[in-house]
Structure formats: C-alpha cells, structure tokens
Amino acid sequence: MIRVLIADDEDMIRTALAALFRLEDDLEVVAECRDGESAVTEAQRLRPDVCLLDLEMPGLDGVDTAAKILRSVPSRCVIVTRHARPGVLRRALGAGVSGFLSKSRPADDVAAVIREVAVGRRYVDPEVAADALSDERSPLTDRELDVLRAGARGQTVAEIAASLHLSAGTVRNHVSSVLGKLGLASRQQATIHARERGWI
C-alpha cells in the first residue's frame, strides 16, 4: 500500500483527488493539508511514502514545502501546478522532487505518477521538460542573483546589505542593474521573474 499525503489550498481539488485515490486498491490517503506548513508537520508525523503538493499554496509554496519535507522524512514528493514554468521545474528538481506534472492531467495519470515515484523512478511532464530545455539563461550576474535571493522575503535594502556584507549603495546599484536588464519596475517583480525562471 502506498501512503499518500495531499496538500492543496483548493478544497475541491484536494478532496476530489483524495476521493479518487481512495478508490484505488494500492493507494491510501493518510493526510489532506491546506498549506505547506501543515504538510510539513503532517509529513514529519505520518511519514507518508509520497507527498503530492500543489505548487501555488499560501506561505510555503510546493517546492519549499518539498525541500523541508525531504530534509527530515524519507518520502518522495510530486509537484502539481496549473502553470508549469520551466524555471520552477529546475527549482523543483534541485530541491529533490521526484515528480512534476500539470494539473490538467487526468486523475488516473496522477495516480500512475505516484506509483512510479513510490518505487524510486522520476517523472517530469514531457511538455514541461521540452520547455525547460529551450528556456532562456539568466542575464544576471551571480552577485545580482545573490541580491534578489537575499531579498526574496521582502527584506529592506539595509537588511540585504547586512546579510551579504555589502554597502546599501552597492545593493541599490545591483537592484538598478537587475531592473534595467529585465525591463521591470520593482525588485519584487524582478524576484518573481527570476523565481519563475528558476534563476533563484
């Protein structure tokens, strides 16, 4: 029996998947969670074989949730998303996720992927994989990416400067360079842009 944890903030999707999986002879749903934090807590408590995680959840997103789970529990994680961006795929694989697929796939396909990863295989939606291979590389320098990464939780310029041992003026210069290269108006937009492409 494959023990499965489902985390999705959309009640209808989460409960529908759980109901469908309960019809399968070899799948047992051990937890249904509404957000990443509760998924981490329940995974540590229940130690499921596979955690099926929505990418877009409040607080911790699916990739960050998977990374936390995988640091403390010998589970396998599968990310599902409506917006299968290539950069997010790279981020997910870097975090150790075993499966990545679109929410547009039928429930039978999701169950099949759970079975695949439960026995140690990996699965990546072929369309997302093709997009990832052709996706653009970052035009930003390593230091510019460090600044975006350090400020990803909304830290001030002074806080970023302190964490990177730079002056506030140097951080502002890096942010200005990033915005110019990406043609964006704010550091928050740049951070989102970089995350979606898997640069940070």
pLDDT (tens digit per residue) in 45-79: 999 999 999 998 988 899 999 999 999 999 999 99
| pLDDT at res. 179 | 92
| Total domains in the fold of the chain | 2
Q: 104, 134, 164: which is the final residue of a domain? A: 134
Q: How confident is the model at residue 133 (pLDDT cuts 50, 70, 90)?
A: low
Mean pLDDT of 111-123: 96
* pLDDT value at 174 more than 70: yes
Mean pLDDT of 9-20: 94
Lowest mean pLDDT among 11-25, 122-136, 163-177: 122-136
Q: Are 38 and 64 in contact (CB under 8 A)?
A: no
Average pLDDT score over the chain: 90
Residue 27 structural domain: 2-134
Same domain, yes or no: 11 and 88: yes
Q: How confident is the model at residue 107 (pLDDT cuts 50, 70, 90)?
A: confident
Q: 114, 134, 154: which is the final residue of a domain? A: 134
Q: How confident is the model at residue 27 (pLDDT cuts 50, 70, 90)?
A: very high
* pLDDT value at 144 more than 80: yes
| pLDDT at res. 134 | 60
Same domain, yes or no: 71 and 154: no
CATH of residue 192 = 1.10.10.10
Q: What whole-number distance in Å separates Cα of residue 178 and Cα of residue 192?
A: 12
| pLDDT at res. 128 | 73
> Does the pTM of the predicted model rise above 0.85?
no
Same domain, yes or no: 104 and 37: yes
Q: In three state form, how does the secondary structure of 34-92 look?
A: CCHHHHHHHHHHHCCCEEEEECCCCCCCHHHHHHHHHHHCCCEEEEEECCCCHHHHHHH
Same domain, yes or no: 93 and 187: no
Q: 83, 114, 134: which is the final residue of a domain? A: 134
Per-residue CA distances from 199 to 90, 97, 149 (Å)? 9, 17, 9
CATH of residue 69 = 3.40.50.2300
Same domain, yes or no: 99 and 30: yes
| pLDDT at res. 21 | 95
